[in-house]
Structure 1
């Protein structure tokens, strides 16, 4: 029945694959397969100070890049499920045995209020919610904690070089007061849709560490932050080919 309905909907509504533009499918099998690559650790060059260990599901190129842009900029919100599945795989790769040690919090890097208003949604948060659902389906107690927000205006990152991006974002993010206690009690994976220079994730890590501290109240050492993204620049993958 679902297949029949999708066929009828494809005749009535203009639908094209977010990755390659193939008609009458939101995401074709080939482009979905590009998102299902084996996640690997990635590192940008230069690597910004404070960047956690990052795992990515796929290189940011070709069908993967097109799919992310369709979701992010063109309102193809139905792609969040597939993108969230890819992000969940990257979270698993970076967090190790995620089902063994208490709750797992996915903390998304927020878009600016201006970008969110222009797009009508926050892409990283939407993908994080889909990833958390995928992780829970696999038996992992995961949820999204969207506690990061901008405390000052920043320039558009597009066109900025690595050093300029880092300077643009330095000190820009803060943790909401209501999230401070929750960050002390769980393992945290910072998540975003794309890694290019790593500046956004490094700033998110700084903001979380500022309220979490190196040690917990009971004297134990806080677990190191991890990070995961759907895609990373191809050069970041090349460094970790082996």
Structure 2
């Protein structure tokens, strides 16, 4: 686990580029271009898992981009969160399309915010790494979206409800089986899936199994609420952090970062989108848009 002295060292001492090793820079211009120099595009895995939302990615998962993601996730290169978040914000914008947060195709005015829902990491992984890389990138992405005029907030409303195996050695079918029913929306979290557009975010898409499972849990929670399901709702604003605390039971609490207001509800089904920093190169090549 990282200590405070490691975080301080990252900020004070010059570091080599995490993507290519260029000296005395956390992220060199060439690697920054590889990460966010091209327009984000829609990506589709083969086979495409059932229920996968439309996914946009900022860059192919190769070479420097792979090294940057691994450095941030596994080696605690926290200074990369800003650049990775900016790339993720670009993928989010691409998925929203010309209609903006409200969505032109829904017939609504684009006055709603964008709600970024990070795919949750396993608790053991967060403890081992000393941070939650996807949530950290989501917060940076929301900040970048707000800075450029798109109201955005982050809601960590998903959690694992059972243990899952390490996905690294699993194929597409095994990943779907491993993750089936593994996620759920925290108590009261379904009330946050209202207003604007909901975008599931992750650092990487490979088979799409994680994004499909996250989308299933979100849709199920919204349907359950509309069918009369009840949930306890409690909101406590943390001064100075712009967060809301959701859930009456401590073990199921989660945080909403950014604007605290909740606006009119919308249908999450077709409006649900997903965005990632990177995806395999061949998933870009079969883009049918």
Q: Same fold (TM over 0.5)?
A: yes
Partner deviation per Cα, 1:158-210 (whole Å, 9 max, x = no partner): 11000001100000000011211111334100000000000000000000000
**Equivalence for 2:48:** 47
Query: Which of 153, 164, 167 in structure 2 is aligned with 1:143?
Result: 153
Q: Helix, strand or coil for the counterpart of 1:177?
A: coil
Which residue is 1:84 aligned to?
A: 85
- Asked whether the 8 Å contact 1:91–1:228 carries over to 2, the reply is yes
8 Å contact kept, 1:215–1:221: no
Residue 103 of structure 1 deviates from its aligned partner by: 1.1
Matched, 1:230 2:232: no
User: How many residues matched?
Assistant: 233
- Residue 215 of structure 1, CA deviation: 10
Aligned partner of residue 154 in structure 1, secondary structure: coil
Deviation at 1:228, TM superposition (A): 0.2
Equivalent residue for 2:213?
203
- Closer, same or farther: CA 63–151 of 1 in aligned 2, 3 Å: same
SS in 1 for 2:188: helix
Which of 75, 98, 101 matches 2:100?
98
Partner of 1:18: 18
Q: 1: CA distance between counterparts of 2:52 and 2:177? A: 14
> Is 2:89–2:141's contact at 8 Å kept on the other side of the alignment?
yes
CA drift of 1:224 comes to 2.0
- The 1:220/1:122 distance shift into structure 2, 3 A limit, reads closer
- Bigger fraction of residues in helix: 1
Contact 2:44 2:55 in 1 (8 A): yes
Unaligned 5+ runs, structure 1: 1-8
Q: Which residue of 2 aligns with 1:120?
A: 130
Distance in 1 (CA, whole Å) between partners of 2:185 and 2:266 is 22
Q: TM-score, normalized by length of structure 1?
A: 0.90
